[in-house]
């Protein structure tokens, strides 16, 4: 790289026809580049970049010349299947980075170090939260007791808040007949992401990739008046989508996951109020988990879409007006909406400046028409309702991973699977430690006793490693005086206090 930098070779962009590009890479024996070219439309212009005798496919842009390459670091190498498919040949992938100054390179390497420490896969293993077992299958999550407790707390809060915001819970099956997925359009447009059909009594059934058709089926069970709307149906529904093994990534990219799905079915007149309430609801919920900075995007109509253009305009304007009324800063993603409706995306910004996708508020003009959804209006005639498909957390798995990485595993006290661990100094204090444990448990705190015959320093270090928020240390003095010594993770000793004082201290944080 030093030699390349000294040579100061220019990067030259050249635009070719598909046939010209195929000729160059065929002569060079570049079979993989030829395969890439085969998947590019014949009418597209192909861009290549030259650097001395080297030529490669690339959209660009590039640096003007190799002289700009000053400080370089090879980060890692790994094997990667072509197209992420384990049936294809494994290739070698080499990762590297370059910066114009040493400081910028050092800053980036520190960023990578911090990101590695926050990696939810490492934290999941260190804190015994979840695992993915090859015998069970790639992309299928096993929740361990501590992880399951955190998930339970997330879901309990989610349910509580949805009840307060006028949602009605539903439960739906994990499989559905092929006719359901034909009506919804999934078999026509989404089949490559669905698992193979199961033959049940001569009828094909598919495991569900989405919850939407089931919620619509519930709505269509009865005839609805405009007086009943809006109807808000919510479910923590587990779905399954095929992902190539090469793209699976911890909890962020899995094959089976639970979505916090809800569908709001309303009249045009109710649209603005529903969207506004929904945005406030989403931001309030995310803030409760400790998130503070958000990036918001409004995605508008793409060139190829379904639905009435007037409905698109009405829905897009409703999203825009709601955010303007709430004084929210947002970016417009022109043409970035799904083919079936405009949407709002809310991303979380973490301490390292990374953005994580969470909330999606999505209009759907496709499914209501396909399933012939109607309500009876004030004119006693049937009308097509607006349907808002929204997920506040996204998927429980991805949200869980985001939460872990955002907090570096140091979860808020209310979310910690074990909030307090009691550490007796010797076996002589075990009886008193267990008595304290029962008292804390009966007051609603999640508490354990470390009864192992280990030195107190070792127990404290292990509790710190496990990121348990509070430690309660009891020795002979504490047992005799019926008190305890409280210690906070990463902060240290908080002093001796009575049970009631400790309880009050903990509850103040909750």
Instruction: With beta carbons less than 8 A apart as the criterion, state whether 235 and 243 touch.
Output: no
Smallest Cα–Cα separation from 229: which of 390, 391, 394, 373? 373
CA distance 395 to 249: 14
455 in catalytic set: no
| Length, in residues, of the chain | 510
354 in catalytic set: no
List the structure tokens of 357: 């996708």
Burial readout 205-244 (b: 16 or more C-beta within 10 A, e: otherwise): bbbbbbbbbbbbbbbeeeebebeebbbbbbbbbbbbbebb
Q: How far is CA 424 from CA 5, 380, 506, in A?
A: 62, 73, 19
Instruction: With beta carbons less than 8 A apart as the criterion, state whether 147 and 486 touch.
Output: no
CA distance 89 to 188: 30
Options 121, 224, 343, 407, the catalytic residue: 343
Q: How many angstroms from the chain centroid is the CA of residue 331?
A: 20
Instruction: Return the number of other C-beta atoms located less than 10 Å from residue 443's C-beta.
Output: 13
Torsion, Cα 208 209 214 216, to 10 degrees, reads -160
Q: What are phi and psi of 270, to 5 degrees?
A: -90, -5
Options 118, 120, 212, 260, the catalytic residue: 212
212 in catalytic set: yes
Options 259, 362, 419, 429, the catalytic residue: 259
Options 118, 120, 261, 447, the catalytic residue: 261
Smallest Cα–Cα separation from 295: which of 361, 356, 362, 337? 356
Nearest-5° Cα angle at 241, 235 to 245: 140
263 in catalytic set: yes
Strands (E), 100-197: 130-132, 141-143, 168-169, 175-177
Instruction: Return the number of other C-beta atoms located less than 10 Å from residue 94's C-beta.
Output: 9
Options 118, 162, 263, 467, the catalytic residue: 263
Options 241, 301, 398, 487, the catalytic residue: 241
CA distance 71 to 420: 47
Options 151, 255, 389, 398, the catalytic residue: 389
Q: Which residues are catalytic?
A: 212, 241, 259, 261, 263, 343, 389
């Amino acid at each position: 790289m030093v030699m390349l930098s000294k040579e100061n070779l220019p990067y030259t962009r050249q635009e070719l026809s598909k046939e010209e590009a195929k000729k160059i890479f065929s002569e060079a024996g570049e079979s993989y580049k030829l395969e890439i070219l085969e998947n590019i439309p014949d009418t597209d212009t192909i861009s290549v970049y030259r650097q001395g005798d080297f030529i490669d496919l690339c959209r660009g842009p590039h640096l003007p010349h190799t002289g700009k390459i000053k400080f370089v670091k090879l980060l890692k190498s790994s094997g990667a299947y072509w197209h992420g498919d384990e049936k294809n040949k494994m290739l070698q992938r080499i990762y590297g980075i370059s910066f114009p100054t040493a400081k910028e390179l050092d800053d980036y390497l520190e960023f990578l170090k911090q990101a590695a420490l926050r990696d939810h896969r490492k934290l999941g293993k260190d804190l015994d939260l979840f695992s993915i077992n090859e015998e069970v299958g790639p992309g299928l999550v096993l929740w361990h007791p501590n992880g399951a407790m955190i998930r339970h707390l997330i879901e309990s809060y989610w349910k509580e808040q949805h009840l307060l915001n006028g949602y009605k819970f539903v439960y739906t099956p994990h499989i559905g007949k092929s006719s359901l997925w034909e009506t919804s359009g999934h078999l026509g447009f989404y089949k490559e992401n669905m698992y193979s059909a199961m033959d049940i009594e001569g009828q094909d059934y598919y495991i569900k990739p989405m919850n939407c058709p089931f919620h619509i089926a519930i709505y269509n069970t009865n005839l609805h008046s405009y007086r009943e709307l809006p109807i808000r149906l919510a479910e923590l529904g587990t779905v399954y989508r095929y992902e190539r093994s090469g793209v699976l990534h911890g909890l962020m990219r899995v094959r089976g996951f639970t979505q916090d799905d809800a569908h709001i079915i309303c009249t045009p007149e109710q649209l603005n109020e529903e969207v506004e309430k929904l945005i406030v609801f989403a931001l309030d919920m995310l803030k409760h988990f400790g998130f503070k900075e958000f990036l918001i995007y409004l995605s508008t109509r793409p060139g190829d879409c379904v639905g009435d253009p007037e409905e698109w305009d009405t829905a897009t304007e409703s999203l825009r007006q709601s955010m303007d009324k709430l004084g929210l800063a947002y970016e417009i993603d022109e043409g970035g909406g799904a083919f079936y409706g405009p949407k709002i995306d809310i991303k979380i910004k973490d301490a390292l400046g990374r953005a994580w996708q969470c909330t999606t508020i999505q209009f759907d003009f496709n499914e209501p028409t396909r399933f012939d959804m109607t309500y009876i209006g004030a004119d006693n005639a049937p009308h097509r309702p607006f349907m808002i498909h929204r997920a506040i957390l996204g998927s429980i798995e991805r949200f869980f991973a985001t939460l872990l990485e955002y907090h570096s595993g140091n979860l808020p006290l209310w979310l910690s699977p074990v909030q307090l661990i009691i550490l007796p100094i010797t076996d002589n204090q075990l009886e008193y430690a267990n008595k304290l444990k029962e008292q804390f448990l009966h007051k609603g705190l999640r508490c354990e006793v470390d009864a192992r015959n280990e030195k107190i320093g070792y127990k404290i270090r292990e509790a710190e490693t496990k990121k348990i928020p509070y430690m309660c240390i009891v020795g002979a003095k504490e047992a005799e005086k019926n008190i305890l010594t409280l210690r906070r993770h990463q902060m240290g000793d908080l002093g001796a206090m009575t049970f009631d004082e400790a309880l009050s201290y903990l509850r103040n944080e909750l």
